[in-house]
Amino acid sequence: MPKQKKKLNAFMIFAMEVNKRRFNSSDYNKAIGIAGRLWNKLSKEKKEEYKIKAQKSSEVDCVENSDKKEPKEANEIVSVSSEINKIVTDANSIGDLDETIFYFINASSFFEINDEIYPAEIALAKFSLKSGIIDDLHVQINPGELPLSSIFIALEKSKNSHKYLLPPDCGGVKDYYMILDMLISFLLPLERLPIFFTEGNIHYNSSPFLETRKVFEKIFYEAQEFDMQPEIKIYPIEELFYALHNITVRNRNDINDSEKEETFPSIAFASDTFFDNNFRLISKSCEFHDQVNAPHHCCLSKVRSYGYTIAKWCSDGSQYPLIDGKHSPHILTLQ
Protein backbone atom coordinates (compact mmCIF):
# COMPACT_ATOMS: atom_id res chain seq x y z
CA MET A 1 0.00 0.00 0.00
CA PRO A 2 1.45 3.41 -0.89
CA LYS A 3 2.36 5.54 2.09
CA GLN A 4 0.24 8.59 2.75
CA LYS A 5 2.24 11.70 2.04
CA LYS A 6 1.47 15.21 3.04
CA LYS A 7 3.16 18.49 2.25
CA LEU A 8 4.59 20.11 5.37
CA ASN A 9 3.85 23.72 6.15
CA ALA A 10 6.06 26.14 8.07
CA PHE A 11 4.42 25.46 11.42
CA MET A 12 4.67 21.69 11.01
CA ILE A 13 8.40 21.96 10.36
CA PHE A 14 8.66 24.12 13.46
CA ALA A 15 6.62 21.66 15.56
CA MET A 16 8.88 18.82 14.44
CA GLU A 17 11.91 20.70 15.73
CA VAL A 18 10.21 21.42 19.04
CA ASN A 19 9.16 17.76 19.33
CA LYS A 20 12.72 16.60 18.81
CA ARG A 21 13.88 18.70 21.76
CA ARG A 22 10.95 18.20 24.11
CA PHE A 23 9.70 14.67 23.48
CA ASN A 24 11.91 13.08 20.85
CA SER A 25 8.74 11.24 19.89
CA SER A 26 8.05 9.48 16.63
CA ASP A 27 4.88 11.56 16.38
CA TYR A 28 5.48 15.29 16.38
CA ASN A 29 1.80 15.97 17.16
CA LYS A 30 2.79 15.53 20.78
CA ALA A 31 4.54 18.90 20.64
CA ILE A 32 1.78 20.82 18.87
CA GLY A 33 0.60 22.59 22.05
CA ILE A 34 4.02 23.88 23.08
CA ALA A 35 4.94 24.62 19.47
CA GLY A 36 1.79 26.71 19.06
CA ARG A 37 2.65 28.81 22.09
CA LEU A 38 6.22 29.36 20.88
CA TRP A 39 5.12 30.01 17.29
CA ASN A 40 2.92 32.90 18.40
CA LYS A 41 5.92 34.59 19.97
CA LEU A 42 8.16 34.07 16.94
CA SER A 43 9.35 37.10 14.97
CA LYS A 44 8.19 37.67 11.39
CA GLU A 45 11.69 37.00 10.06
CA LYS A 46 11.92 33.73 11.94
CA LYS A 47 8.52 32.58 10.63
CA GLU A 48 9.71 33.47 7.15
CA GLU A 49 12.73 31.17 7.63
CA TYR A 50 10.40 28.28 8.41
CA LYS A 51 8.28 29.06 5.35
CA ILE A 52 11.39 28.76 3.22
CA LYS A 53 12.33 25.52 4.95
CA ALA A 54 8.83 24.20 4.23
CA GLN A 55 9.05 25.15 0.56
CA LYS A 56 12.40 23.42 0.30
CA SER A 57 11.27 20.24 1.97
CA SER A 58 9.98 17.96 -0.70
CA GLU A 59 7.20 15.60 0.23
CA VAL A 60 8.09 13.95 3.51
CA ASP A 61 6.16 11.37 5.46
CA CYS A 62 3.90 13.29 7.78
CA VAL A 63 4.18 10.79 10.58
CA GLU A 64 7.64 9.35 10.88
CA ASN A 65 7.85 5.64 11.06
CA SER A 66 9.77 4.79 14.20
CA ASP A 67 11.66 1.84 12.77
CA LYS A 68 12.71 3.86 9.79
CA LYS A 69 15.84 6.00 9.93
CA GLU A 70 15.20 9.74 9.87
CA PRO A 71 15.88 11.33 6.51
CA LYS A 72 19.49 12.43 6.48
CA GLU A 73 20.24 16.05 5.77
CA ALA A 74 23.05 16.76 3.37
CA ASN A 75 26.52 16.65 4.91
CA GLU A 76 25.16 15.46 8.22
CA ILE A 77 28.47 14.34 9.57
CA VAL A 78 29.07 17.09 12.05
CA SER A 79 31.41 17.33 14.98
CA VAL A 80 30.11 17.08 18.52
CA SER A 81 30.76 20.76 19.20
CA SER A 82 28.85 21.93 16.16
CA GLU A 83 25.98 19.60 17.07
CA ILE A 84 25.86 21.06 20.58
CA ASN A 85 26.11 24.54 19.14
CA LYS A 86 23.22 23.85 16.80
CA ILE A 87 20.97 22.58 19.61
CA VAL A 88 21.68 25.69 21.67
CA THR A 89 21.43 28.16 18.77
CA ASP A 90 18.21 26.63 17.38
CA ALA A 91 16.50 26.74 20.77
CA ASN A 92 17.69 30.30 21.35
CA SER A 93 16.51 31.52 17.96
CA ILE A 94 12.92 30.60 18.78
CA GLY A 95 13.04 31.87 22.36
CA ASP A 96 12.99 28.37 23.84
CA LEU A 97 16.51 28.12 25.29
CA ASP A 98 15.58 28.83 28.91
CA GLU A 99 13.08 25.96 28.97
CA THR A 100 15.08 23.44 26.97
CA ILE A 101 15.82 20.41 29.12
CA PHE A 102 19.35 18.99 29.28
CA TYR A 103 20.15 15.56 30.70
CA PHE A 104 23.25 15.10 32.86
CA ILE A 105 24.73 11.75 33.83
CA ASN A 106 27.59 10.38 35.86
CA ALA A 107 28.61 6.90 36.88
CA SER A 108 31.33 5.17 38.87
CA SER A 109 32.59 1.60 38.91
CA PHE A 110 34.45 -0.87 41.09
CA PHE A 111 36.72 -2.22 38.43
CA GLU A 112 37.11 -2.56 34.72
CA ILE A 113 39.12 -4.81 32.53
CA ASN A 114 39.09 -4.82 28.73
CA ASP A 115 35.42 -4.59 27.82
CA GLU A 116 34.04 -5.68 31.18
CA ILE A 117 33.01 -3.07 33.76
CA TYR A 118 31.57 -3.56 37.26
CA PRO A 119 29.31 -0.54 37.98
CA ALA A 120 28.96 0.95 41.47
CA GLU A 121 26.67 3.95 41.13
CA ILE A 122 24.83 6.02 38.53
CA ALA A 123 23.03 9.35 38.66
CA LEU A 124 21.01 11.48 36.25
CA ALA A 125 19.63 15.00 36.45
CA LYS A 126 17.19 16.98 34.34
CA PHE A 127 18.07 20.62 34.06
CA SER A 128 16.88 23.80 32.37
CA LEU A 129 18.23 27.33 32.69
CA LYS A 130 14.85 28.55 33.90
CA SER A 131 14.00 25.79 36.40
CA GLY A 132 17.50 24.67 37.44
CA ILE A 133 17.62 21.04 38.61
CA ILE A 134 14.14 19.75 37.79
CA ASP A 135 14.59 16.17 38.95
CA ASP A 136 17.29 13.64 39.67
CA LEU A 137 17.78 9.89 39.87
CA HIS A 138 20.37 7.96 41.84
CA VAL A 139 20.92 4.21 41.77
CA GLN A 140 23.49 2.24 43.72
CA ILE A 141 24.45 -0.89 41.79
CA ASN A 142 25.60 -4.28 42.96
CA PRO A 143 27.38 -5.89 40.00
CA GLY A 144 27.88 -9.29 41.66
CA GLU A 145 31.23 -10.79 42.60
CA LEU A 146 34.37 -9.30 41.14
CA PRO A 147 37.05 -11.47 39.57
CA LEU A 148 39.50 -12.55 42.30
CA SER A 149 42.44 -10.97 40.54
CA SER A 150 40.76 -7.57 40.70
CA ILE A 151 40.25 -7.36 44.46
CA PHE A 152 43.38 -5.39 45.28
CA ILE A 153 42.85 -2.79 42.54
CA ALA A 154 39.14 -2.50 43.37
CA LEU A 155 39.93 -1.95 47.07
CA GLU A 156 42.44 0.78 46.26
CA LYS A 157 40.00 2.47 43.92
CA SER A 158 37.21 2.36 46.49
CA LYS A 159 39.50 3.83 49.17
CA ASN A 160 40.50 6.72 46.91
CA SER A 161 37.10 7.47 45.46
CA HIS A 162 33.60 6.07 46.00
CA LYS A 163 34.29 4.30 49.35
CA TYR A 164 31.81 1.48 48.76
CA LEU A 165 32.44 -1.95 50.28
CA LEU A 166 33.29 -4.40 47.52
CA PRO A 167 30.45 -6.51 46.10
CA PRO A 168 28.63 -8.59 47.14
CA ASP A 169 28.72 -6.65 50.46
CA CYS A 170 28.13 -3.23 48.91
CA GLY A 171 24.33 -3.40 48.76
CA GLY A 172 22.56 -1.81 45.81
CA VAL A 173 20.36 -3.03 42.96
CA LYS A 174 21.48 -6.24 41.27
CA ASP A 175 18.94 -6.51 38.51
CA TYR A 176 19.95 -4.61 35.36
CA TYR A 177 16.39 -4.78 33.99
CA MET A 178 15.20 -2.97 37.07
CA ILE A 179 17.89 -0.31 36.71
CA LEU A 180 17.03 0.19 33.04
CA ASP A 181 13.39 0.50 34.00
CA MET A 182 14.22 3.22 36.49
CA LEU A 183 16.23 5.05 33.83
CA ILE A 184 13.46 4.87 31.26
CA SER A 185 10.78 6.00 33.75
CA PHE A 186 12.98 8.92 34.67
CA LEU A 187 13.31 9.98 31.03
CA LEU A 188 9.56 10.02 30.32
CA PRO A 189 7.86 11.73 28.47
CA LEU A 190 10.79 11.30 26.07
CA GLU A 191 10.17 8.35 23.79
CA ARG A 192 13.71 7.98 22.59
CA LEU A 193 17.05 8.52 24.29
CA PRO A 194 18.15 12.14 24.53
CA ILE A 195 21.72 13.36 24.32
CA PHE A 196 23.40 12.93 27.70
CA PHE A 197 26.13 15.17 29.03
CA THR A 198 28.93 14.26 31.40
CA GLU A 199 32.29 15.58 32.48
CA GLY A 200 35.85 14.79 31.65
CA ASN A 201 36.41 14.72 27.94
CA ILE A 202 38.00 18.14 27.71
CA HIS A 203 39.79 18.46 30.99
CA TYR A 204 43.14 16.91 31.91
CA ASN A 205 42.05 13.31 31.57
CA SER A 206 39.38 11.41 29.77
CA SER A 207 38.83 8.50 32.16
CA PRO A 208 35.73 9.79 34.01
CA PHE A 209 34.06 10.30 30.65
CA LEU A 210 34.83 6.77 29.47
CA GLU A 211 33.88 5.26 32.82
CA THR A 212 30.45 6.88 32.70
CA ARG A 213 29.96 5.81 29.09
CA LYS A 214 30.91 2.20 29.76
CA VAL A 215 28.58 1.92 32.76
CA PHE A 216 25.63 3.32 30.78
CA GLU A 217 26.33 1.06 27.82
CA LYS A 218 26.54 -1.89 30.19
CA ILE A 219 23.10 -1.10 31.65
CA PHE A 220 21.44 -0.58 28.27
CA TYR A 221 23.05 -3.53 26.56
CA GLU A 222 23.09 -6.01 29.45
CA ALA A 223 19.35 -5.71 29.92
CA GLN A 224 18.37 -6.84 26.44
CA GLU A 225 15.24 -4.78 26.34
CA PHE A 226 15.81 -3.68 22.78
CA ASP A 227 15.85 -5.70 19.59
CA MET A 228 18.32 -3.22 18.24
CA GLN A 229 20.89 -1.68 20.53
CA PRO A 230 20.05 2.01 20.82
CA GLU A 231 22.70 4.56 20.01
CA ILE A 232 23.71 6.23 23.26
CA LYS A 233 24.96 9.75 22.69
CA ILE A 234 27.10 11.04 25.54
CA TYR A 235 28.73 14.42 25.00
CA PRO A 236 31.17 16.48 27.07
CA ILE A 237 29.41 18.87 29.41
CA GLU A 238 32.27 21.34 29.12
CA GLU A 239 31.26 21.88 25.47
CA LEU A 240 27.66 22.50 26.48
CA PHE A 241 28.77 24.93 29.18
CA TYR A 242 30.93 26.82 26.67
CA ALA A 243 28.10 27.08 24.11
CA LEU A 244 25.47 28.04 26.70
CA HIS A 245 27.63 30.66 28.34
CA ASN A 246 28.55 32.34 25.08
CA ILE A 247 25.00 32.52 23.80
CA THR A 248 23.45 33.67 27.09
CA VAL A 249 26.11 36.36 27.51
CA ARG A 250 25.28 37.65 24.03
CA ASN A 251 21.59 37.64 24.88
CA ARG A 252 22.20 39.63 28.05
CA ASN A 253 24.53 42.06 26.28
CA ASP A 254 21.82 42.70 23.68
CA ILE A 255 19.40 43.83 26.39
CA ASN A 256 21.87 45.51 28.71
CA ASP A 257 23.73 48.40 27.12
CA SER A 258 25.69 49.63 30.09
CA GLU A 259 27.59 46.58 31.32
CA LYS A 260 28.96 44.27 28.68
CA GLU A 261 29.92 40.77 29.84
CA GLU A 262 32.79 38.84 28.28
CA THR A 263 32.24 35.49 26.61
CA PHE A 264 34.69 32.68 27.38
CA PRO A 265 37.76 33.02 25.13
CA SER A 266 38.20 29.26 24.64
CA ILE A 267 36.82 25.86 25.49
CA ALA A 268 39.85 25.24 27.74
CA PHE A 269 39.00 28.38 29.70
CA ALA A 270 35.36 27.29 29.97
CA SER A 271 36.48 23.88 31.18
CA ASP A 272 38.70 25.36 33.92
CA THR A 273 35.86 27.63 34.99
CA PHE A 274 33.44 24.70 35.05
CA PHE A 275 35.39 22.91 37.78
CA ASP A 276 36.49 26.00 39.66
CA ASN A 277 33.89 25.84 42.46
CA ASN A 278 33.03 23.75 45.49
CA PHE A 279 29.55 22.80 44.29
CA ARG A 280 30.24 19.07 44.36
CA LEU A 281 31.25 19.34 48.02
CA ILE A 282 28.00 21.03 49.00
CA SER A 283 25.49 19.51 46.57
CA LYS A 284 23.04 16.90 47.81
CA SER A 285 24.68 13.48 47.65
CA CYS A 286 23.21 10.01 48.19
CA GLU A 287 22.65 8.73 51.72
CA PHE A 288 25.74 6.55 51.66
CA HIS A 289 28.11 9.30 50.54
CA ASP A 290 26.53 11.63 53.02
CA GLN A 291 27.28 9.16 55.82
CA VAL A 292 30.89 8.53 54.80
CA ASN A 293 31.36 12.25 54.29
CA ALA A 294 32.47 11.96 50.67
CA PRO A 295 29.86 13.96 48.73
CA HIS A 296 32.43 15.00 46.12
CA HIS A 297 32.83 11.34 45.11
CA CYS A 298 29.07 10.84 44.74
CA CYS A 299 27.59 10.64 41.23
CA LEU A 300 24.43 12.38 42.43
CA SER A 301 26.37 15.28 43.87
CA LYS A 302 28.30 15.52 40.58
CA VAL A 303 25.28 15.72 38.28
CA ARG A 304 23.65 18.28 40.58
CA SER A 305 26.85 20.33 40.65
CA TYR A 306 26.81 20.43 36.81
CA GLY A 307 23.42 22.13 37.00
CA TYR A 308 24.49 24.59 39.69
CA THR A 309 27.60 25.56 37.75
CA ILE A 310 25.71 26.16 34.52
CA ALA A 311 22.97 28.06 36.38
CA LYS A 312 25.54 30.27 38.09
CA TRP A 313 27.06 31.35 34.78
CA CYS A 314 24.15 31.15 32.36
CA SER A 315 20.73 31.44 34.07
CA ASP A 316 19.35 34.97 33.90
CA GLY A 317 18.04 36.02 37.32
CA SER A 318 16.53 39.17 35.85
CA GLN A 319 14.17 37.11 33.66
CA TYR A 320 13.00 34.47 36.19
CA PRO A 321 13.58 33.77 39.89
CA LEU A 322 16.67 31.74 40.80
CA ILE A 323 15.66 29.10 43.31
CA ASP A 324 17.73 27.85 46.21
CA GLY A 325 18.25 24.08 45.82
CA LYS A 326 17.47 24.22 42.09
CA HIS A 327 19.84 26.86 40.72
CA SER A 328 22.27 26.66 43.64
CA PRO A 329 22.97 24.13 46.41
CA HIS A 330 20.46 24.38 49.21
CA ILE A 331 21.70 26.81 51.82
CA LEU A 332 21.23 24.28 54.66
CA THR A 333 23.90 22.05 53.17
CA LEU A 334 26.47 24.85 53.40
CA GLN A 335 28.95 24.35 56.20
Q: What residues make contact with Zn ion under the rule CB under 5 A?
A: 286, 289, 298
Measured from the CB atom, the residue of 172 and 194 that comes closer to Zn ion is 172
Identify which of 125, 127, 18, 92 has the alpha carbon closest to the alpha carbon of residue 246.
92
Measured from the CB atom, the residue of 16 and 298 that comes closer to Zn ion is 298
| Spatial strand order in the sheet of 196-198 | 132-140, 116-128, 102-113, 196-198, 234-236
Q: How far is the CB of 163 from Zn ion (least distance, A)?
A: 9
d(CA 168, CA 240): 37
Q: How far is the CB of 300 from Zn ion (least distance, A)?
A: 5
Q: How far is the CB of 205 from Zn ion (least distance, A)?
A: 21
Q: How far is the CB of 306 from Zn ion (least distance, A)?
A: 15
Q: How far is the CB of 286 from Zn ion (least distance, A)?
A: 3
What DSSP assignment string belongs to 30-71? GGHHHHHHHHHHS-HHHHHHHHHHHHHS-SEESS--TTSPPP
Measured from the CB atom, the residue of 182 and 286 that comes closer to Zn ion is 286
User: Where are the alpha helices (H) located in 131-188, listed in sequence order?
Assistant: 151-160, 176-187
Measured from the CB atom, the residue of 59 and 287 that comes closer to Zn ion is 287
User: Please, is 320 exposed, middle or buried when counting C-beta atoms within 10 Å of its C-beta (0-12, 13-18, 19+)?
Assistant: middle
Measured from the CB atom, the residue of 237 and 298 that comes closer to Zn ion is 298
